[in-house]
């Protein structure tokens, strides 16, 4: 499976919409896409994971790196639209304690 990355910019906010799977194969593309955004000062990145089906430890590492870079530049990272399964991964690793994460609303 591939990973699709789409961006929308609104003032001091970058919205990133991901579709597909985040694993060792697609993580370099994700890192390449997010790294430049994390270097801006006083910016927010909101990453929508509504259409992400799978994340492995490589993907978690990308989000940790972006989170740290954003923190160092007075920015904020927010993950939204996580499925129950993906939210559980962030919970098990304790990342939901340090990152702003919103689960997908049930329909």
Domain boundaries, the chain: 3-103
Question: What would the pLDDT profile of 51-68 be if each residue is shown by its tens digit?
Answer: 999 999 999 999 999 999
SS3 content of the chain, % helix, strand, coil (to 5): 35, 40, 25
> What's the confidence (pLDDT) of residue 56?
94
pTM above the 0.85 mark?
A: yes
Question: What would the pLDDT profile of 4-34 be if each residue is shown by its tens digit?
Answer: 999 999 888 999 999 999 999 999 999 999 9
> What's the confidence (pLDDT) of residue 48?
97
> What's the confidence (pLDDT) of residue 106?
56
> What is the homologous superfamily of the domain 3-103 according to CATH?
STAS domain (3.30.750.24)
State the Cα–Cα distance between residues 51 and 19, nearest whole angstrom: 5
Beta bridge partners of 10: 13
Question: What would the pLDDT profile of 69-90 be if each residue is shown by its tens digit?
Answer: 999 999 999 999 999 999 999 9
For strands 44-55 and 100-103, give the pairing: unpaired
9-34 b/e with 16+ CB inside 10 Å = b?
Answer: eeeeebbbbbbbbbbeebbebbbebb
Residue 107 has pLDDT above 70, yes or no: no
State the Cα–Cα distance between residues 39 and 71, nearest whole angstrom: 10
Residues in the chain: 107
């Amino acid at each position: 499976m591939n990973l699709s990355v789409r961006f929308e910019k609104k003032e001091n906010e970058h919205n990133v919409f991901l579709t597909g799977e985040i694993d060792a194969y697609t993580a370099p593309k994700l890192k390449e896409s997010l790294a430049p955004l994390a270097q801006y000062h006083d910016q927010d990145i909101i990453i929508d994971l509504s259409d992400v089906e799978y994340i492995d430890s490589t993907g978690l590492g990308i989000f940790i790196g972006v989170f740290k870079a954003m923190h160092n530049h007075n920015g904020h990272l927010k993950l939204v639209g996580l499925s129950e399964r993906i939210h559980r991964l962030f919970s098990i690793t304790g990342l939901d304690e340090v990152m702003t994460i919103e689960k997908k609303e049930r329909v």
